[in-house]
Amino acid sequence: GHLFIQDLVQRSVKLEGRATDSISYPWQNEGEDQPRQKTVALGYFEPLDWVFGAGLYDDEVRAARQGLMGAVRTMLWIAILGGALAIIAATVVAWGVAKRMATPLEQMSAAANSIARGEIDLIIPPAGTDEIGELARSLGELLKATEEKVRAAERIADGQTQTEIRLASDSDRLGVAMNDMRNAVARLVEDTTTLTSAAAYGQLDVRADAQRHRGEFASIVEGVNNTLDAALRPVVEATE
């Protein structure tokens, strides 16, 4: 047969320095039905003339490798399943957050569209303290400012030419335009009142300055002036 130990020693003493070698051979232990393949790593310590080796049975190495691979596969599956569950959980949370955000955003969008259509009898519901809540408060301020200007325009239309129009800021172009409109109406009322009152007292020579007005308002004042001129002309001709 094969003299494994002798072969092992002969190969070991030929090693130099820290070099190693290995040998594989079948070995049957007491109580086993058949031999098993065994691999031994060899080394030689020359100062003491020692030969040393460490051996493992190949089937045990394979079993350990299979166990390790099984553990790795199990860990990979756990990582995959854990990642999938994390993605699902994040998706559910994101869906819930999006749904929670969508409801107030839809309400504010509907309110903004109503304001654009001229509807002001609205209520902007509070929406928390985050950015959406800040947006809701800003929309509420817009609705409040719009409502104030609508009420002011209604009072001017009712003839209340002293109505105060509060500017939201120095850049409030609508507020400035409404103040200009109020002042234009007030000047027209003032001049027509002066002319009609003077005519009622027989002062047909009183005239208003049409240049104080613009557009159709100037035409109205000029028309009243012309009417008074026409009414006064026969009187002047009769006195000449």
CA atoms of 55 and 23, how far apart (whole Å): 9
pLDDT of 102:
58
Lowest-confidence pick of 7-21, 34-48, 101-115, 185-199: 101-115
CA atoms of 79 and 236, how far apart (whole Å): 110
CA atoms of 145 and 126, how far apart (whole Å): 18
Better-predicted residue by pLDDT, 127 or 231:
231
User: What is the length of the chain?
Assistant: 240
What ranges in the chain are assigned the alpha helix state H?
Answer: 4-13, 58-116, 131-157, 173-200, 215-239
Better-predicted residue by pLDDT, 236 or 188:
188
What DSSP letter does each residue of 131-187 carry, written as one string?
HHHHHHHHHHHHHHHHHHHHHHHHHHHTT-TT-----SSTT-HHHHHHHHHHHHHHH
Angle of helix 58-116 relative to helix 131-157, nearest 10 degrees, comes to 10
pTM comes to 0.51
pLDDT of 78:
85
For residue range 29-76, what is the model confidence (pLDDT) as tens digits?
Answer: 888 888 888 888 878 777 777 887 788 888 888 888 888 888 888 888
Tokens, residue 47: 């100062």
Please determine, for residue 15, whether its predicted confidence score (pLDDT) is greater than 70.
yes
What mean pLDDT is reported for the chain?
Answer: 80
CB-count exposure of residue 212 (10 Å: 0-12, 13-18, 19+): middle
